[in-house]
Structure 1
Amino acid sequence: MAAEASPAPYADLGGENTGPVYTQSKGDTLAVRGYDVVSYFTGDGVPVEGSQEFTVRYEGYDYRFASKDNADAFVAEPAKYAPAYGGYCAWAIGANDALAPGDPNVYKIVDDKLYLNFSEDVATKWNADIPGFIASADVNYPTHAPDEHFQD
């Protein structure tokens, strides 16, 4: 019996990623562990898991949304909602030029941009100098190849 094919995405925005995007395993295409990145910016700002029904493919990765409205908001402005550094840990890239998984439940929005960190302990370190770590990460992140993965 053949494997069941994944349903077509709700929308495919095309494009190619310009830097690595965190997925749980190399070769996976599910970004942000399936969390709805628009949910960080709406309502009470608590992240919620997205639905496969509202999957938007962006730069080769699948972003899931909890509702059609959230998917439509992402389609209209994907760069606004996609997490900084492809969802990798903001502190690790800024402090060590390293790729470490970003936890969708450990986040901060700074200047209307979503940043994820590895853990609460790491977020405490990041909070000590957010502008400095962002400045360093903005320089470090583009040096990583788009197909690089933390498991490399």
Structure 2
Amino acid sequence: MKKFLFILVLFFTVGAFAQNAKIREAEFNLERKVAIHGYDPVAYFKQGKAVKGKKELIATYEGVTYNFSTAVNREYFLKNPLKYEPQFGGWCAYAMGDSGEKVEINPQTFKIVDEKLYLFYNAYFNNTLKSWNKDQANLKSKAEHNWKKIIK
């Protein structure tokens, strides 16, 4: 009986992981299946800047692949991926809060808030980080609500 219950739990866990990975692959901001345009998610925290990752230094978490600039950063990520993943699937945080839309980002325009990585659109004289900073608490709350509707 214990063996049967273990197999049943394992089956549902693997099924839930596979379903979650498919949703994430479909809804996250990926370019050729790689997040953050190939930038290293850990570098934002450890180096305080956007650093392009290397194609040979990768890790995949629940269907989303990340590149890393160093093996050490890759190890940090593998130990705690949720700490380093960008919020809202890597889409523009401002747009997610303002309209609930998935808008492209500039990986070099970012902000760390409460130990979470937020990315922003920044092109054609429109840096949405500036708008985010004017109403961060409200936009952050709305973005979290809107993202939950997308990632169900």
Query: Taking structure 1 as the reference length, what is the TM-score of the superposition?
Result: 0.79
The runs of at least 4 aligned residues of structure 1 exceeding 6 Å deviation read none
Q: Mark the runs of 5 or more structure 1 residues left unpaired by the alignment.
A: 1-13, 147-152
Q: Determine which of 80, 83, 105 is the counterpart of 2:83.
A: 80
Shift of 1:58: 1.2
Q: Mark the runs of 5 or more structure 2 residues left unpaired by the alignment.
A: 1-16
Q: Determine which of 19, 29, 36 is the counterpart of 1:22.
A: 29
Quote the sequence identity (%). 33
Q: Per-residue CA shift, 1:58-109, capped at 9, x if unaligned?
A: 1212100011100000000000000000110001010001110122111000
Question: What's 2:145 paired with?
Answer: 139
AA aligned opposite 1:76: K
Shift of 1:145: 4.7
AA aligned opposite 2:58: T
Q: Per-residue CA shift, 1:12-32, capped at 9, x if unaligned?
A: xx76345521024xxx31100
Corresponding pairs, count: 129
What SS does structure 2 have at the residue aligned with 1:144?
Answer: helix
Question: What's 1:126 paired with?
Answer: 132
Give the structure with higher Rg (CA).
2
What SS does structure 2 have at the residue aligned with 1:98?
Answer: coil
Q: 1:137 to 1:118 in 2, by over 3 A?
A: same
Question: What's 1:36 paired with?
Answer: 40
Question: What's 1:108 paired with?
Answer: 111
Q: What's the C-alpha RMSD, in Å, of the aligned pairs?
A: 1.7
